[in-house]
Structure 1
Amino acid sequence: MAINDLHHFLTSYFSAHHCSLLYDDANMLTVQLTEKMDRALINRPFYWHYVKQMGFAGEPKQLTVITNPDKRDGKHEWIHYGSPRLQQITNHLLEHEKFTKLYERVNANQKTALYPWLITNIKISYQGKQKKDEIISIGLHLINGAMRLEMMEMLQERSMQNAISDYCYTISPMIKLQSGFRRIENVLISYIQDQDHDWAEASRQRMDEEMNLLRHFYQEEEQQQEMNKEIGDIKKRYSPRISFDVVNGGIFYLTDNQ
């Protein structure tokens, strides 16, 4: 997934949580956190306990992250797939805001239809000799079955809200959610099958090397149980596998009937 996708994911995430974007140039992002987001992402519970005890409002921090690895400067935090900060953000979404329903804000003076999209951000985890996470943002039109990637980037250009705008009405989905998720899953499976899987073969080769070396050291019959335990640990560590996790998603009612 391109680094711009991660950048758009982050700008959408902070915007949705009412954080001001102070600086945004596709390489670096500076946001003014709200108190709620400061509590969620900045580990300083004693500070907030103290200021509340003293009756002060408190000052949420600013957060600056670099999203382009070529622009790392040693002063600011580099955020990337698999980084602790991105894991913290995805965990926050999983814990608090995994599913939602939102409507596009429309200034209409006549009846305007809003069409349902199932939109999900899905983390694909590749595990083996090396680990890698990838976030895919995908949307499914629940009327005609059209599917689009980089939905977070598209939503960045829209204004969304919790209530439907005046003069707007929603079109009922033709595709059920369960069927929609299966369609998205099939697209992701095809996406993975089309990739180069040399990493998996390298993981299996490393696993075989580790197990052969282990068998060389454990040649006594009474050591069999201990050897089997270590072989199990090696398989767990090096067996290549791919998993999907829904970071968050929901039903988004949009003006486009694409």
Structure 2
Amino acid sequence: MAISNLNTFLQEYFSAHHCEILSNHDGILQIQLNEKMDRALMNRPFYWHYIKKMGRDGDPMQLTLITNQEQTEVKGERIHFGSPRLQQILRHLRDNERFTRLFQVVNTNNNTALHPWLVVNMKLSYIGKHNKDEVFSIGLNLINGMMKIDMMEFLQQQDFQMQISDYCYTITPLIKPISGYKRILTVINQYINDQDHKWAKDSLEALQNEIELLKHFYEDSPEEEREQMDKELADLKERYHPKIRVSVINGGIFYMEQM
């Protein structure tokens, strides 16, 4: 159910933001950024301030992202779930494109009904001794309750626009978006329950070991150092105690012909 092809996700992300894909093969994705995406991702505010002050267009950078971890011959950024670059991309999506409402482009001369789909892209974070993220894209038909996973990969194959096409009309949702979102959360929670949570047990064992070491370290310490020990205990519990966090990256209502 999680996005399994990170390379496809990244290609679609940069294409949607009008960046040129220079090459994409063997898990190596080379992108020519435009100015907007260079500003968003490359952390060069002083460069752009200087360039604009000089009245020049600027030179957006290129990115080489490597999703194939076995690839060793090409220089670039290795990117995987949990990597800083992917987290940055997900934050950019979350902060700038939280919600949208789009209509499928339909070329027809007949009255055509468009079904509303609630689409939610979510991040599932496993936090403990070792951290891991998974990204999900789930669509829910707000008329019949049909659910589809890897929804963004499907949507990328369709054409959408802000206005409804001629001769098309929308069907009023029978399922309210908030109810649809709760259904999606139920699926996510079931997915979590079905996982092997050995990682959580390992985190708890590591936490207990660290606590015992810390207490042993402070065993003969004076009373005034106990406050520092309590602080370090709290830090250990925050870092090691296993937890799972579900967060919404973005989403929207997409009106489409019946599948």
TM-score scaled by length of structure 2: 0.91
Q: Say if 2:140 is the partner of 1:140.
A: yes
Q: Are the structure 2 counterparts of residues 54 and 226 from structure 1 closer, same or farther at C-alpha, using a change threshold of 3 Å? A: closer
Shift of 1:72: 4.3
* Cα pair distance change 1:16/1:163, threshold 3 Å: farther
Q: 1:85 to 1:205 in 2, by over 3 A?
A: same
- Of 236, 239, 250, 2:238 maps to 236
Distance 1:26 1:145, change over 3 A: farther
Alignment check: 8 A CA contact 1:98 1:249 kept: yes
Map Cα deviations across residues 85-107 of structure 1 (whole Å, 9 max, x no partner). 11111111122111111122222
The residue aligned with 1:157 is 157
CA distance in 1, matches of 2:110, 2:22: 36
What pairs up with 1:208-223 in 2 under 5 angstroms? Answer: 208-220=208-220, 222=223, 223=225
Equivalent-residue separation in structure 2 for 1:125 and 1:119 (angstroms) = 20
Structure 2 CA distance, aligned partners of 1:108 and 1:27?
A: 39
1:14-68 CA deviation, whole Å, 9 max, x = no partner?
2221223232336222223222112111222233223322332233233221222
In 2, distance between residues paired with 1:180 and 1:3?
A: 20
The one-letter amino acid of 1:90's match is L
- Alpha-carbon distance in structure 1 between the residues aligned to 2:114 and 2:72: 42
- Tell me how far 1:3 sits from its aligned partner: 7.1
Structure 2 Cα separation of the partners of residues 21 and 114 of structure 1: 32
Q: Quick one: which of 241, 245, 248 aligns to 1:246? A: 248
Deviations 1:113-134 (A, max 9, x none): 2211111111111011111111
Aligned to 1:250, what secondary structure does the other structure show?
strand
CA distance in 2, matches of 1:96, 1:188: 24
Q: Which amino acid aligns with 2:252?
A: G
Matched-pair contact (CA < 8 Å) for 1:20–1:31: yes
Q: How far apart, CA to CA, are the structure 1 residues paired with 2:243 and 2:84? A: 21
Residue-pair matches, total: 257
Q: 1:175 is matched with which residue?
A: 175
CA contact (8 A) 2:2 2:134 kept: no
Distance 2:3 2:256 in 1: 26
CA distance in 2, matches of 1:243, 1:200: 13
Alpha-carbon displacement from aligned partner over 1:138-180 (angstroms, at most 9, x marks no partner):
1111111111111111112112222222222211211111111
Q: Counterpart of 2:125?
A: 125
Does the aligned pair in 2 maintain the 1:66–1:72 contact within 8 Å?
no
Question: Aligned equivalents of 2:174 and 2:20: distance in 1?
Answer: 37
1:66/1:76 contact within 8 Å kept? yes
- Structure 2 CA distance for partners of 1:19 and 1:163, relative to 1, 3 Å: farther
User: What letter matches 2:28 in structure 1?
Assistant: M
Residue 70 of structure 2: SS of its match in structure 1? helix
Contact persistence 1:3–1:67 (CA under 8 A): no
SS in 2 for 1:122: strand
Change (3 A) 1:26 1:158: farther
Contact in 2 for aligned 1:5/1:153 (Cα 8 Å): no
Unaligned runs of 5+ in 2: none
Q: Which residue of 1 aligns with 2:67?
A: 67
Distance in 1 separating the partners of 2:69 and 2:207: 31
Give unpaired runs (5+ residues) of structure 1: none
1:230-255 Cα shifts (integer Å, max 9, x gaps): 22221111100000010111111122
Q: Which amino acid aligns with 2:157?
A: E
Q: 1:74 to 1:23 in 2, by over 3 A?
A: closer
